[in-house]
Structure 1
Amino acid sequence: MSNKVINKISELSESVLATTDFFLVDVEIKGGDIPEVWVSVDGEERGVNMDECADISNEISFLMDAHELFSGRYRINVSSPGLDRPLVDRRQYPKNKGRKVKVKYEQGGEDLRVEGTLQDISEQGIIVEINEQTTVTLPFDDLVETKIIPSFK
């Protein structure tokens, strides 16, 4: 699917989300006989629940139909990114403070990895506590991928 369609869906989604406390994380279109539009949304303070996803989906779908983005049928799925998805927006970090993370980052042209607890977040980057004596400060510009490690306590 063209980037033009994805960009338009992103634009429409952001207009819907502007009236909520959520923000757009990603838009994907998966091919097939009936295209599937996947819209991931998140909140700075909390996640999005199923009823909110349904409301957002209805509004985005209405706008997509009005703009005639697809000539035939399509499916739309609105959801939170889920724990298996990397954090891609700086606004996702604060609510995950204190959680275990796996971070890939680049430093001096070298790809590195660190695992620990997301200790703090600033305008410039994150601090990951590897153990009681060791922390590492990582600028946002160096981050390649940050994933939450689920904890089932």
Structure 2
Amino acid sequence: MQNEVTNRISELAESVLSTTDFFLVDVEIKGGDTPEVWVSIDAEDRGVNMDECAEVSNELSFLMDAHDVFSGRYRINVSSPGLSRPLVDRRQYPKNVGRKAKFKFKKDGEYNKVEGILKEVDDDHVIVGIDDDESTKKILFDDLVETKIIPSFK
């Protein structure tokens, strides 16, 4: 049941975002007496500000009410994914070129990890500059399991 509701909210969110430069990253529903809907949005070439999140939240909430997604009360939270969340959409990678990240990937049935600077992104790969020398590692998107940006406070 929750999967159906999540899919329905995703569809409604996609329709709201279709007129913006944002894309849907994730929808989560956290249970309880009053369900909490967490919607993560991002843009390909910039960040997402609070006013934009509030606007998307208002529009999405209106559509959810109109489509009777929940029979009672719920809370909705729209935000950017934040640095603690892994990159889950290929469109998130280009704006993070030049940033340090941890990459977990599967190659020949084995899990591997590498940490370095995201140097390049193309349709099929990411190229990571390894910190300890001048070498690079080319990783297929299809092999990536998780990518997390490492915050830099310089």
**TM bucket by the smaller chain?**
over 0.9
Superposed CA deviations along residues 2-58 of structure 1, whole A, max 9, x for unmatched, are: 111000000000000000000000000000110000000000011110000000000
Amino acid at match of 1:75: R
Q: Does 1:51 align with 2:57?
A: no
Amino acid at match of 2:53: C
Unmatched segments (≥5 aa) in structure 2? none
Superposed CA deviations along residues 89-110 of structure 1, whole A, max 9, x for unmatched, are: 0000000000000000000000
Count the aligned residue pairs.
153
Per the alignment, residue 122 of structure 1 pairs with: 122
Amino acid at match of 1:147: K
In the alignment, the residues of structure 1 paired with residue 2 and residue 31 of structure 2 have an alpha-carbon distance, to the nearest angstrom, of 11
Per the alignment, residue 32 of structure 1 pairs with: 32
Per the alignment, residue 137 of structure 2 pairs with: 136
State the 4+ residue runs in structure 1 displaced beyond 3 angstroms.
none
Alignment map for 1:5-84 (pairs within 5 Å): 5-84=5-84
User: What RMSD over aligned residues (CA atoms) do the two structures have, in Å?
Assistant: 0.7
In the alignment, the residues of structure 2 paired with residue 9 and residue 133 of structure 1 have an alpha-carbon distance, to the nearest angstrom, of 45
Unmatched segments (≥5 aa) in structure 1? none
In the alignment, the residues of structure 1 paired with residue 69 and residue 122 of structure 2 have an alpha-carbon distance, to the nearest angstrom, of 39
In the alignment, the residues of structure 1 paired with residue 47 and residue 134 of structure 2 have an alpha-carbon distance, to the nearest angstrom, of 32
TM-score (norm. length: structure 2): 0.98
Superposed CA deviations along residues 34-86 of structure 1, whole A, max 9, x for unmatched, are: 00000000000111100000000000000000000111100000000000000
Amino acid at match of 2:145: V
- Secondary structure of the residue aligned to 1:9 is helix
Per the alignment, residue 106 of structure 1 pairs with: 106
Amino acid at match of 1:76: I
In the alignment, the residues of structure 2 paired with residue 35 and residue 13 of structure 1 have an alpha-carbon distance, to the nearest angstrom, of 17
Per the alignment, residue 93 of structure 2 pairs with: 93
User: Aligned residues: percent identity?
Assistant: 71
In the alignment, the residues of structure 1 paired with residue 105 and residue 120 of structure 2 have an alpha-carbon distance, to the nearest angstrom, of 17
Per the alignment, residue 146 of structure 1 pairs with: 147
In the alignment, the residues of structure 1 paired with residue 15 and residue 83 of structure 2 have an alpha-carbon distance, to the nearest angstrom, of 25
